[in-house]
Structure 1
C-alpha cells in the first residue's frame, strides 16, 4: 500500500469519524449543519492533510477534537449574545491577560474600564485587521450560509486562535500588545460607549529620522511566525504530554491521566467532574495533585515550564496561580533564602546556577522549591 493510499484512507476515515460522531452527539442537528461543522473541522486546505506524516496526523486529529469541544461547550446552539458572552468570559479567565489589562487600565487615564470592555476592543481590532481571522471568516462563509452557525464557528475559531501558546503565553497576549501599540502611538479618541474605539492611524513612527512602519505588515509577519511556532510547539507538547501521562499513570494514579486529557481539551473543572462522574471537590484535589507533581517532581525531567503553563500555575507568567494580593502574602511569608530562590526562578536561571549561587546542592534546591510550591498551593486553596 502506497503512502498516498494510506493518507487518502486516513482522511476519509477522519471524515467518516466526524460524521458519525456528530450524528451520535447531536442527532437533532440538521444534516446540512453537521456537514458544515465537519468541513470547518477539516479546514480550508484538505489537500494539506494528505501530506502529513504519522506524528502530525495524530496532532491534527487532537486539534480537531480540541476545536470541536470548544464549539460544543460554549457556542453551538447558543444565542449570539450568550455565545459572545461565553467567549469574553473564557478569554477574561486567563490570568496573564487579565493582569496585563488591569495593569494597563490602572496606569491609563480612564481607570473605570473593565477587563471585558478592553477584551471586546482587542477582539474587534483582531477581526478588523488580523489576516488569519479574516481568512477564517471567509472560509466559514463557505462552510455554511446560516448566520447562527457562522457565528458559533467564528467564536470557536477566535477562542482557539487566542489560546494558541506562543513562547509559553497565549497568542492573545501579543494581540493585546499590538492593540496597545496602535491605540497609544497611533492615537485614540473616546466615543460614546455604544461605539467602538476609533483608530486614527494604522502606522507608527519610529525614532526621529526613520520612516513609519505599517502595523498590518508586521502583523502579517507575526501571523506567519505564530503559525510556525504553533506547529512546532504542538509536536513538543505532544511528546511532553505523553511523557507526563506515563509519569502520572505510574507515580500518581490513572485517573490523573484522564483529568489531564480533559483539562488540556479546555474543559472546566465542573465539566471534568461530570465526565468522570466524580464530586467537584475530588476533581480540585486531583488538579492540585497533578500541579504539584508537574512542578516539583516532573521538573527533574527538565520539562516543568510547559506543563506549568498548561495548568496556568507557572512561576513566570501566572505567579504560581496566585492573585496579586495572594502573591504579596505568599512572598511576605517566605524566608530570605526562599525569596532569592523564587526571584532567580522567575528570571529563568538554571537550577545548577541557582544551587551554586545559594551554596546548595541541586537536590536541596529542588526540595526547597517543593516547599515553596506547596506553600503557594496552600495559599490558593485557603482563599
Structure 2
C-alpha cells in the first residue's frame, strides 16, 4: 500500500497545481480504496498477481481523476452529466401527456441531483470522512466526480448470476416513484405481459384487481391510498427477501416488455417466466391475505359493502359457505379480532386466516364472473 501511495502522491504533485496536503489526502484515499479492493476480491487474491492488480487499479483511478482535473470544474461536470444521462436515458421516461425530449431531460436532471447527493454520502462513508465534508479544491472535485462515475457503474448482483449497474437500478426506482398519471396494468405486472390473445386466461383474482386499477384514473377517489398499496406491496416483498420480485414489479410498472426486463435483469425467458409466476403468487397473497382490508377498502369492496358483491351475488356466496365459514363471516362483520374468532371457532389463528383467505377467494371469483 505504501508503494501505491507514493506512486499516486508523486503523480498528483507533478501533474496538478494542488497543494501538498490535498495531494497527500487524495493519494491516501485512492491507495486505501485500491488496497480494499485487492484484499476483498477473491479473484484477485487467487490470481497470484495482487501487486500487478494493485498497480493497474491505481493507475486507472489516477488517470480518471486527472482527466476530470484537466477538464476543469465546469467542463468536468458537463462531461459527467452527459455520461450518466446517456446511461439512464432509456430507463427514465416522462408520463403520458409530457412525452417529449425536454420533459425527459428535466426528469433525468432531477434524478441525477439526488444521485449525486447519494454518491457524496457514500464517498464520505467509504473514506471515513465527516458528514460536513465537501470537495473544495479542483483536485478534490475531480476525485469526487471520478468516484461518481465508478459508483454509478458498480455492478449489483442479480438473479441468474448476472448483474446490473447501480445507477440503472436507481433510475428504475426513481421512475416508479413518479406521480402515476397513467393507469397501471397490475395484470401485466403479475402475468409478465401475457395478453388475452395468447389464449391463456388470467387468474380471476388478478384479473379483478387489474380491472379496478385500470379504472382507477377515472373512478378512484383517493389516489393516495393507491400509492400506499404499492408501497405496502414493496414492503411486503422486502420483508420476505423477494428483492428480485421488487425489481420485476418496478420494471413492469414502467410498462417495459418481456425482452427489456430480461435484458435489464440479466435473465433468460425461462427465468423471467418463473419470476413472474412467483411475483403473481405474492401479489395474490398480499391482496387477499396479508393486507386484504387495505386492498378491499381501495376497491370499495370491504365488509361494509358486502365485499363488493351485489345482493344477488352476496346471496350466492352465502349458499357456498360451510357452517364454519358462515360463522367466520359473521364474526368478521362484528369486527372481532382474529384471535377471538379463532378461539370461538376452536381453530388456531393461522387456520382462521386461511379460512378467511378461502372465503375472500370465493367472493372475488363470483365478482369476477359477473364482471366478465
- TM-score (norm. length: structure 1): 0.40
Q: Which of the two has higher C-alpha Rg?
A: 2
Compute the TM-score of the two structures, normalised by the length of structure 2: 0.41
